[in-house]
Structure 1
Amino acid sequence: MPDRTDPSPPPRTELDQLRASDRIFHALLDNAPILISTKDLQGNITMANRHFDILDGYDPANFVGANVFELFPREIAEQLWRNDRTAALEKRAVQEEETVYHRDKTLHTYMTVKFPLLDDDGRVYATCAVSTDITDTKAAQFDSVTDELTGLKNRRYLNIRFGEEQKRARRDQRLLTLLLIDVDRFKEYNDSYGHPQGDQVLKAVADAMRRALNRPGDLCFRIGGDEFACLFASNNADESQALAERIRADVAARRIPHRGNPPDGHVSLSLGLAFVAPDATLSQQEIYEQADQALYRAKHKGRNTVSR
């Protein structure tokens, strides 16, 4: 007689296993707090998980089957479709930041991985996108490297970017410039006019820096107190000095009263330049020391000047 006490379940059929896998797959799609979708090669949505209902204008009845350019504002649709096309044409995974609007009309940034889907013959027939909301992470990163008063980046960000910019300048065969800036006799200004007015002076200096250095790749920093720095590439030292002179002249032209800063009696700046040639092997500390020495020379010359 068969042993009816055997507790082991009967073997599962292949169909049972497929059904279980399908249930797990749909559970993941329905509950994962990420955006998962597929598009055909014409940009039509062929699948989207439930989390898409967080997006502005999402309509579950009409989302799947619609084209990306029908669903999103054109500038957003273009960036989404560009990354899909890259993944399809180059047959590789593409990782890019993409932006979309949520239902509350706020703009969110997603880190998206897009990859091609291949048929049995190895031909691309669609792309799949998996997107994670990184808006809060980016905001925290921005706050950690941004000076609250002036909106400029801080010393920490200077340290992060210096090596990257040095490599970029070397690759482009351009001169990398580190510019250090001090407000002349700033302690005396705060003593005479108060710290709230001193804050306004610092904001004015930041504004002058942004006006002079507004090209792609120009970087401006407040590195502490009344100390500022700029990092930028140029064709030669004279071009760099001219940009520094624009900052000095801009602040001088504002004619902010400073009776403790003779002989002119207005807020002024001292500026020091250091240069990194494409073939230079100097460390960041060595370059900073050179700029600091140039700044000292500017102060020794009587302030309100640019030195190198």
Structure 2
Amino acid sequence: MPDRNDTHPPPRTELEELRASDRIFRALLDNASVLISTKDLQGNVTMANRHFEILDGYDAESFVGSNVFELFPREIAEQLWRNDRMAALEKRAIHEEESVYHRDKTLHTYMTVKFPLLDDDGEVYATCAFSTDITEAKAAQVDSVTDELTGLKNRRYFNIRFGEEQKRAQRDRRLLTLLLIDVDRFKEYNDHYGHPQGDHVLKAVADAMHKTLHRPGDLCFRIGGDEFACLFASNSSNESEALAEQIRANVEARRIPHQANTPGGHVTLSLGLTFIQPDATLSQDQIYELGDQALYRAKHKGRNAVSR
């Protein structure tokens, strides 16, 4: 007969252990304050935890089973899908910042690790993503990397991001563009109209940059004084030049008086473009020098121009 004092429970069966493990797994998914999801190799979401309800447009009934390009705005979806494809193709975990909109329409930044899921033969059949909201952490760093007057990022941040963006463009095999911008005859403007009015001109340039380069991944900087820079990926040099032309035309169209800037008598910009191919081996200083030379050519052409 069994000992009445024996209080040890009978051993659990393998099925019971599996059910217990599944309950723990489900509890973690339901309560984790991170985004956890999987996608198949066509970009269809095959699993998503409850925290996804924080995102704009989330619908629990249709989210799982839908394609990433059906769930997010195209520029967001392209960013997310590019990172999934990289993890699958390279069969490795990747760590990237990604941006998505919350229900309150605010854009949040997530640090995401994406890694491939392998079948018994070692072939990739899906990808898994863990994403942690780092928006507040990044905001805490804003003061040290933001120009107070224009709201653009400063030269310190430019130096931080340049190498990162060059590596990203190399991985994605995309053309990276450095655009340098200078206000024509800005010293003469300040001498005639005063520095407070000069500050308004700098803000107008920053506004024109923001209105043109507002895609995820586009970066705009005030390097110092009236010197600005943009760093962005594009599909071709012609596309980059068209974006630079939009910035130039936007400022010219504002018709800000500038008597010393002949012949037009209004504030204008000179812009210089340099293109960084995915296989480029040039240093940051060498690339910046090429941008400076292109900017000089724009000045030499008579200002109010874009030059390569």
TM-score by length of 1: 0.60
Q: Counterpart amino acid of 2:274?
A: A
- Give CA deviations for 1:154-206 in whole Å, capped at 9, x if unaligned: 11111111111111111111111100000001111111111111111101000
Q: Counterparts of 1:44 and 1:173 in 2: how far apart (Å)?
A: 38
3-state DSSP of counterpart to 1:160? helix
Give the drift of 1:139: 3.9
Give the drift of 1:134: 8.3
Kindly report which structure 2 residues correspond to 1:6-155, keeping only aligned pairs within 5 A, or say none.
Answer: 41-42=26-27, 74-75=54-55, 138-155=138-155
Q: Counterparts of 1:173 and 1:110 in 2: how far apart (Å)?
A: 23
3-state DSSP of counterpart to 1:271? strand
Q: Which residue of 1 aligns with 2:294?
A: 294
Give the drift of 1:258: 0.5
Note closer, same or farther for the CA distance 1:279–1:188 as it changes in structure 2 (3 Å cut): same
Report runs of 4+ in structure 1 exceeding 2 Å deviation. Answer: 42-45, 71-76, 108-111, 133-140
Note closer, same or farther for the CA distance 1:260–1:284 as it changes in structure 2 (3 Å cut): same
Q: Which residue of 2 aligns with 1:59?
A: none
Q: Which residue of 1 aligns with 2:241?
A: 241
Kindly report which structure 2 residues correspond to 1:144-223, keeping only aligned pairs within 5 A, or say none.
Answer: 144-223=144-223
Q: Which residue of 1 aligns with 2:279?
A: 279
Note closer, same or farther for the CA distance 1:231–1:40 as it changes in structure 2 (3 Å cut): same
Note closer, same or farther for the CA distance 1:44–1:288 as it changes in structure 2 (3 Å cut): closer
Q: Counterpart amino acid of 1:258?
A: H
Note closer, same or farther for the CA distance 1:236–1:137 as it changes in structure 2 (3 Å cut): closer
3-state DSSP of counterpart to 1:231? strand
Note closer, same or farther for the CA distance 1:172–1:255 as it changes in structure 2 (3 Å cut): same
3-state DSSP of counterpart to 1:148? coil
Give the drift of 1:138: 3.8
Runs (5+) with no aligned partner, structure 1: 1-38, 46-67, 79-93, 98-107, 112-130
Q: Counterparts of 1:134 and 1:198 in 2: how far apart (Å)?
A: 36
Runs (5+) with no aligned partner, structure 2: 1-23, 32-48, 59-94, 99-107, 112-131
Instruction: Kindly report the root-mean-square deviation, in angstroms, between the aligned alpha carbons of the 2 structures.
Output: 3.9
Note closer, same or farther for the CA distance 1:138–1:219 as it changes in structure 2 (3 Å cut): closer
Note closer, same or farther for the CA distance 1:188–1:283 as it changes in structure 2 (3 Å cut): same
Note closer, same or farther for the CA distance 1:281–1:73 as it changes in structure 2 (3 Å cut): closer
Q: Quick check: 1:269 aligned with 2:254?
A: no
Q: Counterparts of 2:284 and 2:233 in 1: how far apart (Å)?
A: 15
Percent of residue pairs identical: 75
3-state DSSP of counterpart to 2:141? helix
Q: Counterparts of 2:194 and 2:188 in 1: how far apart (Å)?
A: 10
Q: Counterpart amino acid of 1:195?
A: H
3-state DSSP of counterpart to 2:229? strand
Q: Counterparts of 1:137 and 1:255 in 2: how far apart (Å)?
A: 40
3-state DSSP of counterpart to 2:281? coil
Note closer, same or farther for the CA distance 1:211–1:109 as it changes in structure 2 (3 Å cut): closer
User: Of the two, which has the highest radius of gyration?
Assistant: 1
Q: Counterparts of 1:289 and 1:232 in 2: how far apart (Å)?
A: 17
Note closer, same or farther for the CA distance 1:238–1:196 as it changes in structure 2 (3 Å cut): same
Q: Counterparts of 1:253 and 1:167 in 2: how far apart (Å)?
A: 36
Give the drift of 1:238: 1.0
